[in-house]
A and B are shown apart, each in its own frame.
Chain A
Amino acid sequence: MAEAAYVRRFNPYHRVLHIIMATSFLGSVITGMPLRYSDTPWAPWLMRALGGYEQAGYIHRICAAVTFGYFFSHLIFAAYYIAFVKKFRFRIFGPESMVPRLKDLKDVYGSFRWFLGLGPRPEFDRWTYWEKFDYWAVFWGVGVIGLSGLCLWFPAFFGRFLPGWAFNVAAIVHSDEALLAAGFIFMIHFFNTHMRPEKFPMDTVIFTGRVPIDEFRRERPLEYGRLVREGRLARLKTGPPPNWLLCLAVPYGALLVVTGLLLLVLILLGMLVY
């Protein structure tokens, strides 16, 4: 039964999009943080390693363009999925949707009870509340960092109708929101999805799209039950990820995680020196 030991969780489009997103995010953080923490000893060194502030600026803006690219690509995909794949029968507040619902609040409450040993672990469906938070945090983050970044990228254009202080505000928002995003991804997202003891050191599902069926049943019993009831599980069953995919996914995933953790150390150093 080795061939059927896995369930497909992410399609290739989402897997590729996540790699693009993770890579451009790290590129943005590496090239941006030396400015925010320009008073630290590591900042000038990192800036030189990146080829100077001008080149770092080009890399930063390329990453920004990639970010806008995946952002709109996702919106188009979501619209296409709802309209053509689901023929407008997609339940916006259903279990397969990223839209938060009452159950998520109950799950937060239930999780804290479980953490404190006051109750059982809540049963999750396709998306847990922390996964939904990650998803909407990107929406919010890309919106806020993107808009403020565009102001700072094209000041001559925006200066035609925005007052000067809007650029000061944009600079504060861009930098603070970037700190929030970087800190959140490198601490919270990394722990929630990769570093927690069940997953340590890395959950490769986002790269391979496949999750072992036992793990799937244990972690998302509601989705598992639903798939069984609706007779959809058989179609999602698949074999283990091919070796070539693992050979690509594991080192690249490790590179992303290690780079992120190193950046986290630099940011924490910057906050302590500051």
Chain B
Amino acid sequence: MAAVFVLFLPILANAGLNSGCYACHGEKKFPGGYVDETLYSRSVHGQFSCSTCHVNITAFPHGTPRRVNCMLCHLTGTGGAPRTPALQYELSVHGTAVREGLAAAPHCQTCHGSHDILPPGDPHSRIYRKNIPRLCSRCHKAQYERYKKSIHARALFEMGMERAAVCYDCHEEHRVPNVTSPKWMLWLIGKCGSCHKRELATYRQTYHGQVTRLGYTTVAKCPDCHGAHGILPPSDPGSTLSQKNRLHTCRKCHPGASGGFTTYYAHPDDRDRRRYPQLYYTWLAMTILIVAVFAFFVVHTFLWAYRTLRERLKRKGE
């Protein structure tokens, strides 16, 4: 109990003190920075005093505040602040870039905002699902331009499919691993498959899917054929897998690819008689052959072993 009290001490001690801050910062034209009191009080941190985050502001008048360090609470879990995102961020390309001094690299505030942080489920939140592409586009403009035209964007914004992929589904929110990391490339296959279940299952039946499952990345993975940000259904002429572009896509890995490549099923299902009759009957014939051969010879072998052992026992008995 005492510990909890101590944790919340700054908040309690400064309760009511915010009104003092708003005396200046509540003025829209205040050159030191305007804070909308209503917005702030509605934000997830709205119950905290200003100095909870602005830790170097202890008296009035005050000098230039330091950049707020969210990690003070979020890396330590102070007051129940979620730690996992902070830890993940520190290891991400974003967190690494900040530590390495890249000026454009995003801090927490870059994505989450500061005085107006709303929970991710709130449509007004910067990190609301549908707002994510715009948010990331502030730095990743080229990727956004391609994403905007993709089937994922169309599904999300035009067809009302709430689960359609946005940036952080594939790039893992706070984790944001390096896109050249083999671990991430292999993880991503499963991620695509978490929505495209059938496609993943059938991909695993091919050489591509087997080699990647064994942990190697140098064969075709989802984005190698389908593209990444600008992904389109193969029926779309602009798709990397449209009849026009298909062979070109195969040739990225198979330089000599010939016409037959364009009609190869990269997602075959040999149990689907209606869609893939050739594969179904091949599978059926092979299965019958295997079962027949083994059924005959396993019976043959067991009976043979039985007879030989019996004869041996008989001979021993004599």
Contacts and interface: CB of A to CB of B under 8 A. Distances in A.
B206 A187 contact: no
Given A53-B211, A160-B259, A197-B305, A187 B276 contact: no
Contacts of B308: 196-198
A179 interface: yes
A72 B198 CA distance: 43
B268 A168 contact: yes
A39 B213 contact: yes
Contacts of A111: 300, 304
Contacts of A197: 305, 308-309, 312
Given A53-B214, A159-B259, A167 B304 contact: no
A52 B298 CA distance: 35
Contacts of A168: 264-265, 268, 270, 276, 278-279
Contacts of A158: 260
Contact of B278 (A35, A38, A169): A169
Contact of A164 (B213, B256, B264): B264
A43 interface: yes
Contacts of A244: none
Interface residues of A, number: 51
Main secondary structure of the interface of A (DSSP, over half): helix
B257 A35 contact: no
**Taking each of A34, A47, A130, A167, which has the highest tally of chain B beta carbons within 10 Å of its own beta carbon?**
A167
A177 B293 CA distance: 11
Contacts of A169: 278-279, 282
Interface in A37-55: 38-39, 43-44, 47-48, 52-54
Contacts of B270: 168, 172
B214 A164 contact: no
Interface of A: 34-36, 38-39, 43-44, 47-48, 52-54, 111-112, 114-117, 130, 152, 155-169, 171-173, 176-177, 179-180, 183-184, 187-188, 191-192, 196-198
Closest 8 CB pairs of A and B: A159-B260, A164-B263, A164-B264, A156-B256, A115-B303, A176-B286, A159-B258, A38-B210
30 contacts: A35-B214, A38-B204, A38-B210, A44-B214, A52-B216, A54-B218, A152-B207, A156-B254, A157-B256, A159-B258, A159-B261, A160-B258, A160-B259, A164-B262, A164-B264, A164-B265, A165-B278, A168-B270, A168-B278, A171-B207, A171-B268, A172-B286, A176-B286, A176-B290, A180-B294, A187-B294, A196-B305, A197-B305, A197-B309, A197-B312
